[in-house]
Structure 1
């Protein structure tokens, strides 16, 4: 039987974790870690007092207003880096100085050059680097891979993937100003292609092996510095599959319940992630919440993210990282995987920029 929540918090053999950044995704990682057996979330850091208050209400004993202070003060086994991308490199460097393994929110870095520096720092310090690429952990994507690996549709000459999300400006009307960094390509590393496309690159290489970017186009539906839509044409040489990828952050009135669609067109049939979705993502949320409260008293394993499979994927990704740290193994989604998705994004940006720069010269007319 898994240990009780109190037992996890007080068990000296538990993996001690600090969460660096407890905004939206940071709180997902924090709550995931709190729910895990043999994990002790000892501290969290965030510059915003409201976020620190949320972390304390979630059960974290100590909070800091700066991640460097946390890393200096706490004796950690691992740290979750859920800071804005422009802080990832510094956070990994500080964690390396402390000998702390890191689980980094995507994108790993803002460029391949930055990623190379981070991974070299980690290698020299002997710390593990995991990256939160979660599409491969979703049950619908796992179902697609299982069907594909079984050969149920034979050769797949064509595939398509679309991933959508809310825009940082929020649903219209946008009353509140968003944080500045998501709209700053220098701080975020890019626009929608980095925010959403890197997840797609990861799951596609998980399916088809190394990809080649053949063409790309970037779009802007709003007057902002970075693209809020991207379309990329890819080729998988190992399988002979041509793939179209589209990702976009839009001002949805209501975001589609299923925000990622993957379809494989095989020669004997089609595989779609739609065929592997739960019947209802959220219907049992209230029941699950009540059962989680009861689990604290019975010692059973809490099903914190059962009804919300997007959050369950984050839980599973972090749990796999923690297992790898315990076993002294390379994380299943490691720094090299994170760097690879950035490399593909950079190629797409370069091709899109080159296409925008191409101009047709008017033919010379002689009379």
Structure 2
């Protein structure tokens, strides 16, 4: 386990923050941080000039084309690591050398082995590691957990969770080529299991306690080098619940549709996250979506909290991390949690690979 964080707040109660990587999710974290009381975004780093320009437009005082330089030059309390997975380990190592706590975009690493090295480095430097597992902060998931813990439906023998989206390729017509790293197994660590499934593993253990992976299969509906579909059979010994998990990046997202569905089948009824969506969710989300379309047409930055409540969950996750750093406490979702979700995804991938390999072996036919 990580040791307690070391108080490093500079001069006042204001927490100084840097954002490493301001692409899609990095901009979400940047805008979230800029709207938080008691948080000052000092600088951002990104290799792409257009991303740095976007950050400057929202008021960031200093930008760098290299996160190493940012960590060397800026005096920070914490940094958001919103870089591709293959850069997470290096960024954590350099942040540790600078004594900077880190909030890492999921997945924490590309493998448990890499995660162990990262956490060892953080532990030796005395820095905190938080991980952006946001499903726990969505109001629908909070509602499911509350109802489950109240015993509303009694014992839950079976549960299912599905998380789908359109992955890195996007919904046609695609204006720009997708980034290459999400389709590179070495750079990303995998496909849907690490992009989508890892969120599901985290929220399921948050609900049911420690999980066991019993079986798994993966597939590619498209001709790409990573899996874009995965199905996993899990068991929660503490609650005696069998669980199926399916994740896939093969379905076009249609905002404001909710792309995560969780159902708990209890002996006296069913709990569904669909029953815990905010009031007027679809009407409000649709309005936000149209507003953001107009913002893009006029050249304005889209609202960080539209078009759905997903981005608000990112705000809550980062805010909780910043508060933990400020209070010298362990982050509510820390590096060990991130490593555990990675371990479950890795186990599922290994089981699926064994099945796929076995299916390719020649079969001896006897007469």
Partner of 1:205: 205
What is the match of residue 224 of structure 1?
A: 224
Following the alignment from structure 1 to structure 2, what is the Cα–Cα distance between the partners of residues 77 and 223? 44
1:172 deviates by 2.7
Q: Does 1:113 align with 2:116?
A: no
Q: CA deviation at 1:361?
A: 3.5
Cross-structure match for 2:61: 61
Distance in structure 1 (CA, Å) of the matches to 2:19 and 2:289: 27
Report how far residue 285 of structure 1 moved: 3.5
Q: How does 1:228-267 map to 2 (within 5 A)?
A: 228-250=228-250, 252=252, 254=254, 257-267=257-267
CA distance in 2, matches of 1:191, 1:285: 30
1:282 aligns to what?
A: 285
- The correspondence of residues 1-367 of structure 1 with structure 2, limited to 5 A, is 12-174=12-174, 176-250=176-250, 252=252, 254=254, 257-278=257-278, 279-280=280-281, 281-283=284-286, 285=288, 305=305, 308-359=308-359, 361-365=363-367
- Aligned equivalents of 2:356 and 2:86: distance in 1? 27
Q: Distance in 1 between matches of 2:334 and 2:225?
A: 30
The CA distance in 2 between the partners of 1:355 and 1:307, in whole Å, is 40
- Deviating above 4 A after TM superposition, structure 1's stretches of 4 or more consecutive aligned residues are 286-289
Kept in 2: contact 1:172–1:253 (CA 8 A): no
Unaligned runs of 5+ in 2: 1-10, 293-302
Structure 1: 5+ residue stretches without partners: 1-10, 290-302
- The 1-side partners of 2:228 and 2:304 are apart by 32
Q: Compare 243-252 and 34-43 and name the one that shifted more.
A: 243-252
Deviations 1:178-209 (A, max 9, x none): 11101001100100110000000000000000
For residue 287 of structure 1, report the CA deviation from its aligned partner. 12
Q: Which residue of 2 aligns with 1:4?
A: none
1:304 Cα deviation (Å)? 6.2
- Calculate the TM-score normalised by the size of structure 1: 0.89
With normalisation by structure 2, the TM-score equals 0.89
Question: CA deviation digits over 1:118-158, x for unaligned, max 9?
Answer: 00000000000000000010000000000000000000000
Range with greater deviation from structure 2 (186-195 or 349-358): 349-358
Q: In 2, distance between residues paired with 1:329 and 1:142? A: 22
Deviation at 1:284, TM superposition (A): 5.6
